[in-house]
Structure 1
């Protein structure tokens, strides 16, 4: 047997012998029952004009290997065959960081695609493709962003990621709920698949949960296709948690903070984030809100609406989640000082919008955040307390910031609610049951989920839309993602939905397209002539 074949045979024999020691997540997914150290794939993130973050995380079947550091080699090339290597180096995969690897590249050319891979011993990772942002003063002719959120494992397969990859975005914005902390339901009726993991509460639990999600081949392929910029929402930790408080945390705040730190560490370990996001050695704080500039074409303000928010209005301390309330029964709801983002982040965002508006510096100001920003008045008169509706003072301050600075074009992106919403953002959001009013100052596109169920019916959503004239589209019956094609002249949002989330090979179709013309604040359907529509 030739030496190379013998090494390959011995390597695969060792992998087979070690299969019994694989992490718990692997037994939930037969596709992952191999000891490939790169079984969780590769990713890149947060592109800058001169570099990007490369990520992988090792899967080590041998218990002794799991306790030690490993040196991972990496290469970046112009071509997929790595005949034209641009940079290469080594990075440590440390056990105290889950053997994750974060390589922060610099010295690359702006506005250029690259290929990358990792190596450990004889093992070679899948090849990833990434790109850098354009130079700060460049005006790109086109940028395609995909935005997505909410991918509960049991509720659906990840066919949406397969179609998103085929759409060839330049950048993916992931807006929260990458994992769900729950155990699989006892009843499997209507589920696409189940897993054997318990409700996540420890660092090991959260590591296993990320590994489970990242074992999905469609998700891996989407990560490898282009750079991502990620933020979080609640299920990366606990349903509807708020800042330093979670379910029962007032009785034992230390226990919740320990759980939160474990969850945040696992988030960092599994995402292509820069080391600058680490604000505390014990993972008691992460800098998740940040800006990504795409030359003069777009600036993305990526927000964090979980870490700095106040406890939901009128929510009992031991409640398992936030609920809807009637404004007349909850005086705290109207407190103008209540904040969803925290004072520091509000000031940071205000300064960013002011900078966008100066000297035509930014054609499109993008506020990428977790949930629906526009008011959603229910016919029953109740108000959700976990969304922006639960923090009307904070929303008013952001609306005032947009109106005061008046960036050339403002677009808000959101997720969380597992429904597609398209809205005109009005200068006055209204209060105490009053309808929003004033001029249109921005457009909003809130995307549906990758796989998570909506938990409502289209009849109910139709009733909400009729009650909210600023809502141009509201659909809860599809799961998928959004695409934003951005040029200096217009923004085009395409809402894509899978045909059947219970099928891994599901097809997909386009639900709707909306256009925002440069200088016109309101979105309109692609079939209409936007310039003839009164944006007010």
Structure 2
């Protein structure tokens, strides 16, 4: 849907808001946004803007700005927004106000009209008498410019940590993050119950609109996901796990549009998400829907089942043949390249199950002489780089950079058998599919697509996900020379992108954790999931012998949480009024082939000490810092305490 340039901004219509225009500037009416670090202020921000901010679908003159507001029980909440050229908001270029209600789950989506293309902006929201965190976004260029996109898919929050998102948040060389589906998941894979939440509602297949909304909110509680949304605009399409919830497609699709920063292509038609985003003369980004609209219908053109539907195919054909950009990327949920072993597709849910549609898409590229087309894909949880051809002529190159966390061969087949399976599967893929030039079956991470006039540079980055980690590795890079429609260099080097403007200030959180130390066994726990804004720690106890068996915390409201087993003797401490837990020393040791917590020492603001276990000699110290204290813990637990890290909070005012 075309947007009028005379509009100051637009809020998504229908279910998701209405157009509101405000010609009067009101920046002088709002108090200076000096972010207070006081407990009271952090409590208010953490309540009002609990799910952060986000931006998406950048064009040369506008970007979708998103947030969620938690109100005071009123039927509607008034919200103001601003966009500026600087993080201090002394150069405000756009602003407006709107309101939100329970009808759209108190979400806000603003299609902010911005004055300059190819430019970094900072944005924020004001509601319930407090400012949100500041977000950073970027408009698409209108001139021939280097374009650099990150490519991700398949992010299961239960399968591990979103270290990939944190790695992307800290990169300053990207124009946008492209997420090609399975942004959320409907159910937990039985082989991947790594980080299970304390509330079982966050693991159940959502069966109502409210439950689907809750799943998005649970995801947005993750600090790494929030950080990536805060720092970059996202371009998102759904895949099956985003819309195949027990609640049904209608409610799943409604929640998707409410809680994802997407610009709906057609007013009132939320089934339609295929769309084109122009990045100037360098790139046309064409986002497809291979999961919902048109899928499994019978094509009137081919007489075969279709993955796109005739209407979407005709739209795609028009986009491809009319595009004047130097490059085209098709954002596509499922693998387009043929992938067969002994003549049989590894999955017919991918384009292999819809060969007539694949033929007609590739034939458009070949017959019309359309050069420089890339297919950016997700879904398979594996890494691929493949040449696509039709009739013996090169048509396009496909990149699929594995999943963020959802399991692949490594999770499904472990140990020695897993190594054998990995080697055999990879050998079979390469033997029977010579057009697949790169394949990897066990690692997780993201891809980088770097576009210049002379060629495309594609990188595969891998990031650990089972433990908190800042490590990442660029394992493979390939080049596609302009005009070739095939991979021209299979082992290239890492590229250096142009550094963009300074990041938005990191979110000031009421509760924060610096990390964890210990082993990898046991089940996950996180007291932060249960804390409310006024949680005050009043009692601690540790069970131990030579090793630490368990730790128990109790709060002023009476809630108590135990982590670990029942062995050893108990050591306990009641905190005095005004006394805080300030420091923790952890000793990690090895026993019978396992790693666990062997020693804990807790020190309060009054110098009192609770100590348990046997010090192994090498320890890790955690200190909350001035004005902050330890309010709880996160880690892993079994019959003993396997891993632990502190959760910090500001002292009470």
CA deviations on 1:326-358 (whole Å, 9 max, x unpaired) are xxxxxx9xx7521101111100100111012xx
Aligned to 2:51: 40
Give matches, 1:443-458, under 5 Å. Answer: 443-455=397-409, 457-458=421-422
Q: Is the 8 A contact 2:79 2:125 kept in 1?
A: yes
Aligned to 2:257: 268
Higher RCO (Cα < 8 Å, 6 or more apart): 1
Higher relative strand content? 2
Aligned partners of 2:446 and 2:107: how far apart in 1?
28
Aligned partners of 1:165 and 1:440: how far apart in 2?
35
Aligned partners of 1:121 and 1:259: how far apart in 2?
34
CA positional deviation for 1:309: 3.7
Q: Is the 8 A contact 2:148 2:448 kept in 1?
A: yes
Report the 3-state secondary structure (helix = DSSP H, G, I; strand = E; otherwise coil) of the residue aligned with 1:394: helix
Give the counterpart of 2:163 among 159, 162, 166.
159
CA positional deviation for 1:408: 2.6
Aligned to 1:52: 63
Give the counterpart of 2:217 among 191, 211, 216.
211
Give matches, 1:385-424, under 5 Å. Answer: 385-424=348-387
Matched, 1:353 2:320: yes
Aligned to 1:317: none
Report the 3-state secondary structure (helix = DSSP H, G, I; strand = E; otherwise coil) of the residue aligned with 2:228: helix
**Structure 1 pair 382–176 and aligned structure 2 pair: CA distance change class (3 A):** closer
Q: TM-score, normalised by structure 1?
A: 0.78
Aligned partners of 1:393 and 1:6: how far apart in 2?
60
Give the counterpart of 1:515 among 469, 479, 488.
479
Aligned to 1:302: 287
Matched, 1:202 2:208: yes
Give the counterpart of 1:173 among 174, 178, 185.
178
Q: Is the 8 A contact 1:70 1:94 kept in 2?
A: yes
Aligned partners of 2:265 and 2:229: how far apart in 1?
21
Q: Is the 8 A contact 2:265 2:274 kept in 1?
A: no
Aligned partners of 1:132 and 1:418: how far apart in 2?
30
Give matches, 1:218-233, under 5 Å. Answer: 218-233=224-239
**Structure 1 pair 416–528 and aligned structure 2 pair: CA distance change class (3 A):** closer
Aligned to 1:21: none
Give matches, 1:10-409, under 5 Å. Answer: 35-60=46-71, 62=72, 64-65=73-74, 68-135=75-142, 138-140=143-145, 142-168=146-172, 169-183=174-188, 185=190, 191-194=194-197, 196-197=200-201, 198-238=204-244, 259-280=248-269, 285-311=270-296, 336-356=303-323, 361-379=324-342, 381-409=344-372
Aligned to 1:28: none
CA positional deviation for 1:11: 6.1
CA deviations on 1:391-448 (whole Å, 9 max, x unpaired) are 11111110111112222311111010001100011114xxxxxxxxx12221111121
Report the 3-state secondary structure (helix = DSSP H, G, I; strand = E; otherwise coil) of the residue aligned with 2:342: coil
CA deviations on 1:222-277 (whole Å, 9 max, x unpaired) are 111121111000001228xxxxxxxxxxxxxxxx7x61111001101111122544
* Higher-Rg member (1/2): 2
Aligned partners of 1:479 and 1:232: how far apart in 2?
20
Aligned partners of 1:312 and 1:292: how far apart in 2?
27
Aligned to 2:452: 487
CA positional deviation for 1:193: 3.8
